[in-house]
Chain A
Amino acid sequence: MVSVSTLAAITIDGLAFGASLALLGVGITLVYGLGEVLNLAIGAFAVIAAIAASLLVSDGVALPVAAAAGLGLVGVFGLVIDRTLLSLVYRSDGEERILLGIFTTLGLAVMIEGVLVNFVSSRYSLPLGVSPIDVGTTVVTGTSVVTIVVAAVVLLVLFAFLNRTFLGKATRTIFQDERGAQLVGIDPRKIRTLVFVLSALVAGLAGLLIAARSNIGVGNAFEFTTFALIVSIVGGVRSLVGAVVAGVLLGLVNTLAGFFIGSYVATIILFGAAIVFLLVRPEVMSS
């Protein structure tokens, strides 16, 4: 039988994976809630940040600087995508915009992966160099604890931004009533740009945290996108809190199922959850 300490260690790992999933889900939810663009390239954003940071570290750059540079790169990239590609998508609206958003970001994901494969084809990691932590009789992975703390802090800051600052309130106003927001003088397009860059940064951070715990490669991009998609579906694609809860829960279930039943069944559980939620609560995705 599995000892309590092993179980605790796995739970911490599951929460850490869940924290990364929550960030990815929040990345999708922010953009979809605000502009009805389902960003299927979000996994590529995560991978770009992680690989850039990892390459810098192996060139001798200090880890915090490398991580910041990776995030900066993906932020700028997000800005460029928003000003070019998404500007074209936002010209249409309603169902057509959603469909167009799906296809252009899908094309973008395929393109980014296709370009990156030519330059960075091996697997990369971002070891934090944190030693395991003893909690009584239990030994938990230090990196997992750092992951959970970092994700929690970032999410708290994000929520504080959305709830406390004017810009954040303006953003939430558009979530609820785009026309009303326009009437009180908020420019939705500018807010959308801000939020898209924000989501790119959040996704980039998720990539960094995943790379801290395992090796990742360009081929993981689509996998991360699907994780993000599942989390946001299960969380109710417009609810940030829902995305966080769903991310943590799915990360936990996935890790535990992976340990007890096997990783292939665990992945099927993950996708199965999304399908069940779509069938039970289809209204989460409707415009």
Chain B
Amino acid sequence: MNTETLPGTRKLALVAAVFVIAPIPVAGSGYYIGVLSRILLFALFALALNIVFGHNDQLFLFMGGLGGIGAYTTALVADTVGVTAWLALPVAALLCGVVALSVSWISARRRFTVILISILTLNLQLVLSEAFVGARDLTGGSTGFPYELFSIEAVAEAVGVPTPVVLYYVILGFLMAAMVAYVWLINSKYGMAFEAIREDEAAAESIGIDVVRYKTIAGFVAGVIIGIAGTLLAREATYITPSIFSFVAVDVIALVVLIVGGIRRTYGPIVGAVVVEAIEATLSNYAANWRAAIFGALLILLFLYFRSGVIVRARDLLESRDVSFGGGGGGTSVETEADTD
């Protein structure tokens, strides 16, 4: 492939390479592998939020609930049908996609504002949280059940590395696939339509862009990604409980990640996730009790003063010293294939 004409691909390959070698210095430490995995997971959540909120002004505040639907469905389908979780995951992801699609379709049809969508989905999040606790027969209630799907232990044993390391690479695979899909999507006609709709919905409609259709597609794509991210989140925890998918545990973190990284920036979710998880790891080492308080303060500060993204400022500073963070997928055409396995 001629990478000279595909700057996006080269940058993505570089980022992928960094993450591929990242576990090597810390492979012995289960703790650091866990931190790295969470970076990838929340990059995945934030990437979905970037598509649906950043590019489409649909603020989904039920990412936790949607991720929970994905995780529980994967386990239940694998269990009841008796197939491997690898076959159950696409079913679960598709279900999450359809749920998100429905929310987007109704919202777009009824011309809901971003505020209305946020309140609607927040209520959905609360219903789902309750449902996960209440539907004991299916979810095991608040005690949950062990979540060790995808026969990752077997692979780990065969290769001779710890299970979390194998899981890390599985998550990395999904994140990179999602990144490729994202770059392709944003540079395709869909991305152009998203941009037109975001700038002026009425104007976009007047030149023949089907606003409802594009918003629904964005919702579906985000739903699928969130469903996968939720399943992997439960797998990383090796035990599934409703508290993993609470509003504060998923939505708040993903939102902070996206804002820190910078909304609508290609590498925003990844950069944001690195920063946020680094802060979180530091806090849980030195100020575990103050983690929530500091995150709340961070949320306030970010929204009041850094809505364009903390990284945008840091990047400007670094770029003046010839260090590039990447980012901004606007305008460049990238001819990579959408690899959606």
Contact = CB atoms under 8 A, between A and B. Distances in A.
Q: Do A and B come from one complex?
A: yes
Interface string B98-112: 000000001000101
Nearest to A272: B127
Interface stretch (A13-21, A63-71, A97-105): A97-105
B293 A115 contact: yes
A112 B293 CA distance: 7
B302 to A, nearest CB: 8
9 closest Cβ contacts across the A-B interface? A111-B296, A114-B292, A114-B293, A107-B299, A264-B134, A110-B296, A107-B300, A103-B303, A271-B127
Nearest to A98: B115
Given A110-B248, A111-B293, A264 B123 contact: no
Given A268-B134, A272-B127, 19 more contacts: A89-B304, A95-B114, A99-B114, A103-B300, A104-B299, A104-B300, A107-B300, A110-B252, A110-B293, A111-B299, A113-B296, A117-B289, A229-B123, A233-B123, A268-B130, A271-B123, A278-B116, A278-B123, A285-B115
A31 interface: no
A275 B296 contact: no
B291 interface: yes
Given A104-B300, A282-B112, A113 B292 contact: yes
Given A268-B130, A271-B130, A106 B299 contact: yes
Given A114-B291, A114-B294, A108 B120 contact: no
B299 A268 contact: no
B14 to A, nearest CB: 33
B131 interface: yes
14 contacts: A89-B304, A99-B118, A103-B300, A106-B299, A107-B298, A113-B293, A229-B122, A267-B134, A268-B127, A268-B130, A268-B134, A271-B127, A272-B127, A286-B115
Nearest to B259: A103
A137 interface: no
Interface in A216-254: 222, 226, 229-230, 233
A282 B110 contact: yes
Contacts of B131: 268
Nearest to A276: B123
Interface of A: 38, 85, 88-89, 95, 98-100, 102-104, 106-115, 117-118, 222, 226, 229-230, 233, 264-265, 267-268, 271-272, 274-275, 278-279, 282, 285-287
Q: Is the interface of A mostly helix, strand, loop or mixed?
A: helix
Interface string B277-318: 000000000000111111111111001100000000000000
Contacts of A115: 290, 293
Contacts of A89: 304
Q: Range of interface residues on chain B?
A: 35 or more
A229 B119 contact: yes
B130 A99 contact: no
A21 B123 CA distance: 16
A114 B106 contact: no
A103 B248 CA distance: 13
Contacts of B289: 117-118
Nearest to B296: A111
Contacts of B248: 110, 222
B126 interface: yes
Contacts of B106: 279
Contact of B300 (A111, A272, A275): A111
A184 B116 CA distance: 33
A117 B292 contact: yes
A34 to B, nearest CB: 16
A229 B110 CA distance: 21
Contacts of B304: 88-89, 100, 104
Nearest to B256: A107
Contact of A264 (B124, B133, B297): B133
Contacts of A274: 123
Contacts of A222: 247-248
Nearest to B246: A222
A271 B299 contact: no
A287 B106 CA distance: 19
A74 B9 CA distance: 54
Contact of A108 (B113, B118, B294, B300): B300
B300 A233 contact: no
B296 A114 contact: yes
Contacts of B303: 100, 103-104, 107
A268 B293 CA distance: 29
B298 A267 contact: no
Interface in B215-260: 247-248, 252, 255
A124 to B, nearest CB: 19
Nearest to A227: B126
Contacts of B294: 114
